Amino acid sequence: MRVLIVDDEATARQRVRLLLQLEAGVEIVGEAETGAQAVAMIRQHQPDLVCLDVQMPGMDGFGVLKQLEGEQVPMVLFISAHDEHAQRAFDVHAVDFVLKPLEADRFHAAFGRARTQQAHAIAAARLDELAATARVLSNGRAASEYHVDTDRLAPTRSDVDRLLRNGAPHAPLNRLSRLGGTFVANGANGTHPANGSNGSHAGSDSNSISGVSIASNGQYATRILVKHDGRMFFVKTAEIDWIEADRNYVRLHVGAVAHTIRERISHLEETLDPSVFSRIHRSTIVNLNRVREMQQWFSGDYVVILEDGTRLRLSRHYREHVEKKVGV
């Protein structure tokens, strides 16, 4: 894992460097002591992880992320002497938030979370290949006719190395949604109609699923293709209760199951029927058919309660939009 250290204090950078040296497979690509330097080095080196101090003169850690909006952003492990920044850190989907002075065990646990998140990205390394294969198969022709090597759908060591250097490939959902037609899957006759679904779920482990494509019927997506343990299956959008953003990933909550796919929530929102799905927070989309009630909370915010008892925050920024949709 390629790591950038950012802290305005030399002793703090040294402590992080020593702790990173205890971790296997780590390459420290550089050290920055200001926010401006951090932005420049992130763009230059494209690290997998940034150990980022919150409070720095000029531009703080959150300012660094703001400067990188719309770009390929690495994983972030926030480090701070003040715990009042913790909630804000998780609002921007940091891997973890560790307090100074750094303890070895606590840092090791936080770094382990970064490894887990990186593993998800590696599992998505073949997204473009999956999309290309799907396009071939959507024409109703055998993969062998086009010399499609399905074994290559699993990432190789060279793929992993490329991923660690450049980040996981990203294929916009609007491009994948043009597959349409017929998608070949592991059915009895090898095909499933574009407006159907195998209706299966791959277990309740939200960390075990990756890879995404979409088959659309008309203007909006009716199902989402998920890859799990070497197989692909569809999840009907109508079965999704709510959707949660996690940096470059989203989790599709379907009952007790959560499917993790690589896509930004803003891109996914564009493919969903707005009469059924509504953004209620910058990191949350909800299926309005699952909403049981809304209760007033603090500062103009509401709590949305789903039929299964799940409680989600409705921010005041989206409140009027949601109220119009539900006829309030």
DSSP letter for each residue of 226-275: EEETTEEEEEEGGG--EEEEETTEEEEEETTEEEEEE--HHHHHHHS-TT
> Residue 264: what residue type?
R
Q: What tens digit of pLDDT does each residue of 93-102 get?
A: 888 899 999 9
d(CA 1, CA 29): 10
Q: Measuring CA to CA, which residue among 179, 149, 155, 185 is closest to residue 169?
A: 155
Pairing of strands 311-314, 27-32: unpaired
d(CA 250, CA 312): 16
With pLDDT > 90 as the criterion, what percentage of the chain qualifies?
37
Burial of 145 (0-12, 13-18, 19+ CB in 10 A): exposed
* Domain definitions of the chain by residue range: 2-121, 124-239
Q: What tens digit of pLDDT does each residue of 171-185 get?
A: 333 333 322 222 222
CATH class of 2-121: alpha beta
What pTM was estimated for this model as a whole? 0.45
Q: Measuring CA to CA, which residue among 261, 311, 273, 316 is closest to residue 291?
A: 311
